[in-house]
Structure 1
Amino acid sequence: MDITTIYWIVLGVMGLGVIGAIIPGLPGSSIILVAILGWSIATSFAGIGLPMIFIFIVLILSAGVEYLALYFGAKQAGGSKWCQYGAFIGMAVGFFGLLPALPIGGPLIGVLVGAVVGAFIGEYLYRSNLESEARIQQAFKASAGIVIASIIGNIIEALLAAVAVAIFVYSTWSFVFPPTLS
């Protein structure tokens, strides 16, 4: 297989990684890192330098953005740690719970619904000292904060993933398509 074909395959996988960064619970940054590793192995690590190191740093940062967004979203909405724990547990239960029932799309739906339901339940349990209506209101507010923060976090993560892909293309394009002298 020639280097140009490998390059386009790597870019296609990276495109899937950027899409994966947008969708909650999918490992977009990891997919891009695997694509870069594949490219590095295919080219015997030629051209691995400062731009690639910068890409790794950006992708590692983007992996933590979603979790930080959930944390700050819950805090801004007045949610407790129980709300955050509930969201994480709900994501996991939703992912694995809907995987057998709906193999295509089920895990994605499970992650989204699970985070909201888990955050609501966690906050509802934490606020046991409140009246029933105030308790439901606070739990709803906290779970809405989780949803909004998750969306913002995914947008930031996707932007960082796109920046990483752009840096990769910028630093490797001339290796695959050397400039021709006219």
Structure 2
Amino acid sequence: MSFAWTSESWWWIALLVQLLAIPGTLLPLLPGLVWLPLGSLVWLAAVGWADAWPEFALAMLLFGLGLIADLLALGLASARLRASRWSAAGAGVGLLIGVLGLLPALPFGGPLLGALFGPWLGAMLVETWVTTKPPRNLGWLQALRQGAVVGLAVVAGLLISRVAQFLIAIAGLAGFMVLSFR
């Protein structure tokens, strides 16, 4: 008994690849929305450009919207508080350290708590350090307060971005299913 590769079997593979976007949008450090265009590329390779271009175009559009959501969420949260450009980098390093469980102050919660506490701590430390230097030259107490507020804003931006990307992933899956059942 042999298995024949039909367009239906390729459709299921494309859908499974796109389903990987869901955990990727919810869990930090996993690829998220990039799975939408990759799944549509599988479908495109199976049925050809003439039949699969709408699915591919939708996946690329949604992937672009996800990137914009990331940039807006972090940028607006930081810009509103006049944060330094280094606070996002500090949050990224803090996220990596928090998710990998390298924060010794977190005896409970593991990677999930580290994904929230790590970016806050990273952004806070970097912002505190930067704002004590010229041209801001704040005192340590004011710099620490500014850093804590910026850290909270960065974490709020990350959470908003995750929710937006999750909704975009759901829309991408629904759009793929609707468009491919023509």
Fold shared, TM-score > 0.5 on shorter chain: yes
Contact persistence 2:81–2:150 (CA under 8 A) = yes
Alignment match, 2:19: 15
AA aligned opposite 1:152: I
- Point out the structure with the larger helix share: 1
- Residue of structure 2 aligned with 1:2, choices 6, 11, 35: 6
Provide TM-score, normalisation by structure 1. 0.76
1:6-28 superposed Cα distances (whole Å, 9 cap, x missing partner): 32232222122133123233221
The aligned residue for residue 154 of structure 1 is: 162
Structure 1, unaligned runs of 5 or more:
99-105, 175-182
| 1:116 aligned residue | 120
Structure 2: which 5+ runs fail to align? 103-109
1:153 partner letter: S
Worse-matched range after superposition: 119-128 or 8-17: 8-17
Once superposed, what is the RMSD of the aligned Cα atoms?
2.7
Tell me the SS of whatever aligns to 1:35.
helix
- The change in CA–CA distance for 1:109 and 1:30 in structure 2 (over 3 A counts) is farther
Q: Deviation string for 1:72-115 (max 9, x for gaps)?
A: 112234422221232234345666786xxxxxxx8877655442
Q: Following superposition of structure 1 onto structure 2, how do residues 3-152 of structure 1 map, counting pairs within 5 Å?
A: 3-91=7-95, 112-128=116-132, 129-152=137-160
Counterpart Cα distance in 2 of 1:162 and 1:143:
29
Task: Give the letter for the 2:142 counterpart.
Answer: A
Larger RCO, structures 1/2 (Cα 8 Å, 6+ apart): 1
CA distance in 2, matches of 1:30, 1:110: 24
Tell me, what secondary structure is at the counterpart of 2:51? coil
Shift, 1:119, TM fit = 0.7
Match of 2:52, as an amino acid?
I
Q: Is the 1:25–1:111 contact (alpha carbons within 8 Å) kept by the matching residues of 2?
A: no
2:33 aligned counterpart, secondary structure: helix
SS in 2 for 1:29: coil
Q: Find the counterpart in structure 1 of residue 180 from structure 2.
A: 172
Q: What amino acid is aligned across from residue 49 of structure 1 in structure 2? A: W
Conservation of the 8 A alpha-carbon contact between 1:25 and 1:108: no
Verify the 8 A CA contact 1:13 1:35 in the aligned structure 2.
yes
Match of 2:107 in 1: none
TM-score (structure 2 length as normaliser): 0.76
CA shift, 1:152, in A, is: 0.4
